[in-house]
Structure 1
Amino acid sequence: MRLAVIDLGTNTFHLLIAEGIDKILYKTTVPVLLGQGRINQHIIIPEAMERGIRTLSQFKATIDSYQADVVKAVATSAVRSAENGQEFVDKAAETGIHIEVISGEAEAGYIFKGVMATGLIQQTTLVMDIGGGSTEFIICNPQGELWKKSYNIGAARLMQAYFHADPLGEDEHRSILNLLDNTLTDLKVACAAHTPSLLVGSAGAFESFAALLNDGNEISGVPSASLDIDQYKTLSKHLITSTHQERAGMKGLISLRVDMIVIAAIITDYVLEHMDINRLSLSAYDLKWGILADQLLGKHG
């Protein structure tokens, strides 16, 4: 069976065409920026909607050329929180792409399945996926999920709300930390109960962290990689205090993440410190791989 998976994220749209986890026929990522401008006002602006529909039309042509048997397209935070999200779904249907808008809990479940497929989950682990609109946390072990939750603290959402100085101001930094204090209370309780010993970051910003720690070279061809925690902390301090221009010149940091990486570093630092975790790994498999694994297992949901 040939599967096509579309992950409609807040920042990027992803297309994966595969016949198995280890048999990827086509993969692409397009920076659509669906949450541009007014994500915190729950609106997809016209320019972003147009970019999204144009990208889906291109995806449909590619899917047709590969003659995929099954197409699974899911939309996450930007669409589910937008007042005009249904309008986007309806326009997408006109291209031949039928979108399922999934809940934050379902999103976390797919992320878990993607990370599980890497073989990384060997002990009690906290999985984190920092998206543009939301961030998902899953506490799990080799037997399965223990706890999961999605929070509306994505990098694009926080950047639009708090990141207005270059470099990030101390007051802005403190405001983000205060928000995390007020938002992640139940995550702290869950981590205290389950005591995860490893933090796994799912793709996205963590791929950028890994590349920056690897002399600017993308880590490719492997489903997971261990990140040196001390080197990460040094990098994080540098990212948070750097200017836009300085980050734009960093080898291994794609333009989409030049500013959002600062928010991702703040969230990651907070989790490592407050959840008392001192080991960090990257999972190259994320939500789209979880959907792929789910479809291959014949569990549609």
Structure 2
Amino acid sequence: MKRKDLICRLLAHFPELRKRDLEGLVEAFFEEMTRALVRGERIEIRGFGRFEVHHGKERVFVNPQNKETYYLRGNRRLVFKVGKDLFERVNTPPRAVLDLGTQTFRLALGKLEADGLRVIERRRVNVRLGEGLEKGIISPPALERGLAALKEFRNYLYDLGVSEIKAVGTAVFREAANAGEFMEASRKLGFHIEVISPERESELVLKGVQAGLSPDGPFLLADVGGGSTELSLVKEGRKIWEVSIPLGAVRLKEGFIRAYPLTPQEFRGIRGHVARILSELEIPEEVSLLVGCGGSASLLAALDLRLTTYLPERIHGHRVSLSRIETITEHLRGLPLSRIRRLRGMEPGREDIALPGLLIFQELLRKAGISELVISEWGLLEGLLLSF
């Protein structure tokens, strides 16, 4: 982590502060540490470790030419002694989980600690494995992209020495006739993919959401993916109703969008299709909270916050009103792809499926009569980590 990365992380935790103020605070923090160490003081941060200045022994040096004796003062050395908590955290190997979806392959590293799950790192690659899924297969270019992403993940995990790995496949693996071909190639790379049912997927997502967000009262959970949307009604911590519907960002894009910008008629057509599919749903109870997770939900938060860097801390728990989503979707539909790519918060590789994903959340809010969406960055990956 570099200095600028530290400042970005601090901005995520303290969005009310200005960047230049945080830069000043970081500069002042390290300056005070430096001054204390120059004075020979010890700096101790409980649980993390302590910095100490050690004085080397004086040395006697005899010049071989003139035989004169010199006394050399010992150099001062800066020593860091790691704290117990940090030592245990560093030396406990993490576990890795992979969510291989229709649009995105995601990787998370995490550890179960005394105070709960700690996610160390998240990585994601937009592979669009669902390309060609309308024909019932994974296309050859998509298959190559997916395997290339897995090779990158494998090399990364090998360098870290991670041995406990769990990988699951969702909608595209359930539907593609040639999914077995991809799974066989994945096994040769060291990944054994478990194809999970919509019910199991929903169960894992809920486990992750509840661990990371702890919503109060009954809520509707929507996991919008590339090929499908999993809906669950949660009451008193239990799932009392669930359904999987064939609405996904990639599926809608391939079925309805040929080019950007969309005409008003095209926009009304795709929005009407989503509304018609959702009109057939019978949600058992009225709820006042909709929680969204998945790539489209994260993208919506990033666009609303106008993030230039992916910061899960800012995205997690962010709330977006229905009116704001309507404003964003109306703006997206009138832009060419070249402009959409340059929007602050836009994730590379999702520019052409951003609008369909956001429309699903928009129409879900309308269907349920809810005024805002709460974004959860915790979901399937965290549920997998908790289920090891």
Normalised by the length of structure 2, the TM-score is 0.70
Residues in 2 aligned to 1:179 and 1:236: alpha-carbon distance in whole angstroms: 15
Amino acid at match of 1:290: G
Given that 2:170 and 2:196 are in contact with CA atoms closer than 8 Å, whether structure 1 keeps it comes out as yes
- 1:211 counterpart residue number: 302
Q: In the alignment, which of 186, 196, 201 is matched to residue 287 of structure 2?
A: 196
Larger-Rg structure: 2
3-state SS, counterpart of residue 194 of structure 1: coil
SS in 1 for 2:230: strand
Shift of 1:230: 3.4
Q: Deviations over 1:122-173 (max 9, x none)?
A: 1211111211111111111342112112222111111011001322234433
Structure 1 position 160 matched with structure 2 position 251: no
- Please state whether the residue corresponding to 1:136 is helix, strand or coil: strand
Whether the aligned pair in 1 keeps the contact of 2:322 and 2:365 (CA below 8 Å) is no
SS at structure 2 position matched to 1:18: strand
Distance 1:61 1:244, change over 3 A: closer
| Counterpart in the other structure of 1:249 | 342
2:147 counterpart residue number: 53
Identify the residue that residue 95 of structure 2 maps to in structure 1: 3
* Correspondence for 1:298: none
1:286–1:161 Cα change, 3 Å: same
Tell me which moved more, 166-175 or 207-216: 166-175
Deviation at 1:178, TM superposition (A): 4.1
Residue 380 of structure 2 aligns with an amino acid whose one-letter code is: L
Q: Per-residue displacement from partner, 1:101-141 (whole Å, max 9, x unpaired)?
A: 11122212211112111234212111112111111111113
Deviates most, 271-280 or 240-249: 240-249
Q: What is the CA–CA distance in structure 2 between the aligned matches of 1:98 and 1:144, rounded to whole Å?
A: 30
Shift of 1:32: 1.6
Tell me, in whole angstroms, the C-alpha distance in 1 between the residues paired with 2:329 and 2:272: 19
1:27 and 1:177, CA in 2 relative to 1: closer, same or farther beyond 3 A? closer
Aligned length: 291
- Which residue pairs with 1:23 in the alignment? 118
Other-structure match for 2:324: 231
Spell out the pairing of 1:80-229 with structure 2 (5 A cutoff).
80-187=174-281, 189-190=282-283, 193-217=284-308, 218-221=310-313, 223-229=316-322
Greater shift after overlay, 178-187 or 280-289?
178-187
CA contact (8 A) 1:118 1:224 kept: no
Give the gaps of 5 or more residues in structure 1.
296-301
Secondary structure of 1:59's counterpart equals: helix
Deviations along 1:161-220, whole A, 9 cap, x unmatched? 100132223443343344334433453x11xx3112111110412222212222334443
Deviates most, 63-72 or 161-170: 63-72
Partners of 1:181 and 1:23 in 2: CA distance: 38
Opposite residue 332 of structure 2, the aligned amino acid is L
Aligned equivalents of 1:181, 1:24: Cα separation in 2: 36
Match of 1:279 in 2: 372
How far apart are the structure 2 equivalents of 1:183 and 1:230? 21
Counterpart of 2:384, as a letter, is I
| TM-score between both structures, scaled by the size of structure 1 | 0.88
Deviates more, 1:27-36 or 1:56-65: 56-65
Percent sequence identity is 31
Where does residue 127 of structure 2 map in the other structure? 32
Q: Which has the higher contact order (CA 8 A, sep 6+)?
A: 1
**Distance of 1:17 and 1:102 partners within structure 2:** 20
CA distance in 1, matches of 2:372, 2:289: 5
Deviates more, 1:176-185 or 1:72-81: 176-185
Give 3-state SS (helix, strand or coil) of 2:215's partner: coil
8 Å CA contact retained: 2:104, 2:128: yes
TM-aligned CA deviation for residue 9 of structure 1: 0.9
